[in-house]
Amino acid sequence: MSNPQQLRYSKEHEWLSPVEDGVATVGITEHAANALGDVVYAQLPEVGDTVTAGETCGELESTKSVSDLYSPVTGEITASNQDVVDDPSLVNSAPFEGGWLFKVRVAEEPKDLLSADEYSEFSGN
């Protein structure tokens, strides 16, 4: 399993893309997707919602369990991935591509996000 080097990672297993024009993309890691099992339902934050770093902003339901979704940053939601709502299995099949969850206008990025190597060590992968 390879974590893309350009991303930053939270200890709650979310990833954050580099910020472009103030907006970053958020998803869950391949490690988290594998641990969840087959994702069958996604409840994502809606455009205009405000999210806070480290706080719950949605949930993913799998055949194994229900897991809260945490935002790795504070900001305002600018897009929610309707493709994942329609086909939650994208979280498993393409966690770093088509399985992204939402885009957020970043107000504040926490200092404790991990690099790809740090996340690999943290998650044991």
Quick: pLDDT tens for 39-63.
999 999 999 999 999 999 999 999 9
Quick: pLDDT tens for 91-101.
999 999 999 99
pTM for this one?
0.95
pLDDT reported for residue 2: 80
**Which CA distances in Å does 78 have to 10, 18, 51, 81, 105?**
20, 15, 11, 10, 6
**pLDDT tops 80 at residue 1:** no
pLDDT reported for residue 125: 75
Q: What is the 3-state secondary structure (H, E, C) of the chain?
A: CCCCCCCEECCCCEEECCCECCEEEEEECHHHHHHHCCEEEEECCCCCCEECCCCEEEEEEECCCEEEEECCCEEEEEEECHHHHHCCCHHHHCCCCCCCCEEEEEEECCCCCECHHHHHHHHCC
